[in-house]
Amino acid sequence: MSDWKPKRFWKTATASPVEGGFAVLLDARPVRTPAKALLQVPTLAMAEAIASEWDAQEKLVDPRTMPVTRGANAAIDKVRTQRHEVIALLAEYGDSDLLCYRAAGPEALIARQAAGWDPVLDWAAKTLNARLFVGEGVMHVPQTALALENLAAELALFDEFAIAAAHDLISISGSLVLALAVTKSALSPDEAWLLSRIDEHWQVEQWGADDEATAHELVKKQAFFDAAAFYTLSKS
C-alpha cells in the first residue's frame, strides 16, 4: 500500500452499517482493500476512525497517515487468509521473549531489568498460566511446552483485527508477554513501550543519544501506539 497514492475523488467519507459489521463509504462508493475485498470492520468506532483518515486526505492519498486503514487492510488481506500461519509466527516469540534475556552486568542494569520485567513475567505466570524462565546473555532459554501452548492459546482467541494489532505490538517490542499485557489492560501502551526499551535507554544514558537512532525510535514508538489503538478500536 506504500506506493498507492490515488487522487482524492470523493467529497465525504462516512461509516455505514452493513451485515456483520461496518463499512466506509467515499460518497456512495465502499472502500476496498488493496486485494479488492470490501473493507468491513467489526466496530463503528473503527469505521469512524477510518472515515476520518480518508476525510483528512487532501489532493493525494498518503497511506503513511492512515494507520487504522492500514491495520484493517492487513487484517482482511493478510491475517484472514493465513490466520494459522500468523498465529504460529507470533507464538514463536514466546520462546524467545525479550523479557527472558538479561544482562550479565552491570548491576544497575540487571536491577533495572528485574524491577521492570519480573512483575510482568509473574503476571503471565499467574494470569495466563505461562511461567517463562530467564537467563543471561543471548543463548536460548528453553521454555516449557505448557507455557508456550498457553501463550499461543491466548492468540488463538483473537479475531483477525486483534491479531493484526498483536502482530505489530509483538514484532516492535520483541515481547509476546508485553503485547498480551497491553491487550488485557495489565499495562498501558506507554508502560509496555518503556519496558521494551530498557536496554536501549540504558545505552543512551551511558553514551548519549544518536540522532538517527532517536528518530528511528520515535517511528517505532508511534507504530506501537498505533497498534495499541487499533486493538482498542477493534473491541470498542
- Judged by DSSP in three states, 162 sits in helix
Band (pLDDT 50/70/90 cuts) for residue 59 is confident
Grid coordinates belonging to 52: 476520518
Residue 65 lies in a domain: no
Residue bearing cell 508502560: 191
Q: Would you say residue 216 lies in a domain?
A: yes
What 3-state class would DSSP assign to 25? strand
Looking at the structure, do residues 48 and 100 belong to the same domain, yes or no? no
CA distances to 14, 100, 217 from 224, rounded to whole Å, are 27, 20, 10
**97 plus 195 within the same structural domain:** yes
Q: Is 55 in contact with 12 (CB distance < 8 Å)?
A: yes
Residue 62 placed within a domain: no
Q: Are 186 and 127 in contact (CB under 8 A)?
A: yes
Checking if the pLDDT of 1 tops 50, the result is no
User: What are the tens digits of pLDDT across the range 178-227?
Assistant: 999 999 999 999 999 999 999 999 999 999 999 999 999 999 999 999 99
Question: Within 10 Å of residue 171's Cβ, how many Cβ atoms?
Answer: 17
The conformational region for residue 185 under phi > 0 = left, psi -120 to 50 = alpha, else beta, is left
Tell me what pLDDT residue 2 has: 46
pLDDT above 90 covers a percentage of the chain that reads: 93
Number of structural domains the chain divides into: 2
CATH number at residue 25: 3.30.2180.10
Domain range spanning residue 34?
13-57
pLDDT for residue 104 is more than 80 = yes
The reported pTM is 0.95
CA 17 to chain centre: 26
> Region 99-116: what's the mean pLDDT?
98
Q: Is 115 exposed, middle or buried (0-12, 13-18, 19+ CB in 10 A)?
A: exposed
Torsion of CA 34, 40, 45, 47, to 10 degrees: 50
Which of 8, 3, 75, 16 has the alpha carbon at shortest distance from 51?
16
Check whether residue 101 and residue 214 sit in a common domain. Answer: yes
Q: How does pLDDT run across 4-47, given as a tens digit for each residue?
A: 567 888 999 999 999 999 999 999 999 999 999 999 999 999 99
212: which 3 cell numbers?
Answer: 538517527
Mean confidence (pLDDT) of the chain:
96
Q: Domain for residue 206, yes or no?
A: yes
